[in-house]
Amino acid sequence: MATVRLSYFALLREQRGLAHEVRETSAVSAGELYAELSTHYPFTLSADRIRVAIDGEFSPLSTPLREGCELVFIPPVAGG
Amino acid sequence: MNFQLATEPIDPGALARVLDDPRAGAFVEFQGRVRNHNDGHAVRALDYEAYAPLAVKEGTRILEEAASRFALINAGCVHRVGSLQIGDLAVWVGVTAPHRDAAFKACRWIIDETKARVPIWKKEHYDGGATQWINCATRRPSPEPGDPANPSFP
């Protein structure tokens, strides 16, 4: 089990119903954590449409979770 | 090379003056403004939201990459966050270069990369009260009316 810090933005923030949480998870990778979250909350974006930032930098979804790491799942961006 | 997020209205004149340089034979700017329609729907207003630390980091990388790809003197980009109305300036890109060709190309490249890479999101508010996060619709072959994947789209 790892305890991770999560921040949510945009569509994911609305679908999660909050902007930040600390969560204990048995998921071993960021992608597994997204799948776990998707079973609890009404996320409509499939994993192939999101990216993840870990500790403030884009990272592969296969990145192993470390105790205390900060994750942001990034929905499709739409600046401009 | 400076990428910023702005919570207050952008002043393009002030941003352009920052790029003044006697070597610059060309200054090209792009102003992205909030328009009153998208994809056949009447748009009333927009909200922009950013993951600020990574947005600034990625935006700065884009400007640095532009400097290595094009013969530039300087470049800057500012993106608004928060609630914007029709006609508001949402994003500004400014580029200086000795010659116009590099300035035009770099300006276009910077706005395209910014839209594709920087973690900024746009929520459109439509006439009638519906809303949608742009690029986040769940695509299905034949969406049903009231599709729960698109609960708020008209």
- Taking only the tens place, the pLDDT of each residue in B19-34 is 999 999 999 999 999 9
Kindly list the domain boundaries of chain B, sorted by start residue.
Answer: 2-130
Q: In terms of DSSP H, where are the helices of B6-47? A: 12-18
Bridge partners, A58 (sequence order): A53
CATH 3.30.450.20 fits B2-130, yes or no: no
For the domain covering A2-74, report its CATH number. Answer: 3.10.20.30
Coil, strand or helix at A29: strand
Taking residues B45-64, report their average pLDDT: 98
Q: In terms of DSSP H, where are the helices of B8-51? A: 12-18
* Nearest of B122, B121, B118 to residue B63 by alpha carbon: B118
Residues 6 or more apart from B13 whose CB is under 8 A from it? none
Query: Who among A11, A58, A80 is closest to B136 (CB)?
Result: A11
Contact A77 B115 (CB under 8 A): yes
Task: Give the model's confidence band at B151: pLDDT under 50 very low, under 70 low, under 90 confident, else very high.
Answer: very low
DSSP A47: G
- Taking only the tens place, the pLDDT of each residue in A24-74 is 999 999 999 999 999 999 999 999 999 999 999 999 999 999 999 999 999
Average pLDDT, chain B: 92
Residues of chain A contacting B140 with CB distance shorter than 8 Å: none
Task: Give the model's confidence band at B139: pLDDT under 50 very low, under 70 low, under 90 confident, else very high.
Answer: low
The answer, for B79 touching chain A at a CB cutoff of 8 Å, is: yes
What is the gyration radius of the CA atoms in chain A, in angstroms? 12
* Nearest of B115, B95, B92 to residue B107 by alpha carbon: B95
Residues of chain B contacting A74 with CB distance shorter than 8 Å: 51, 119
Coil, strand or helix at A55: coil
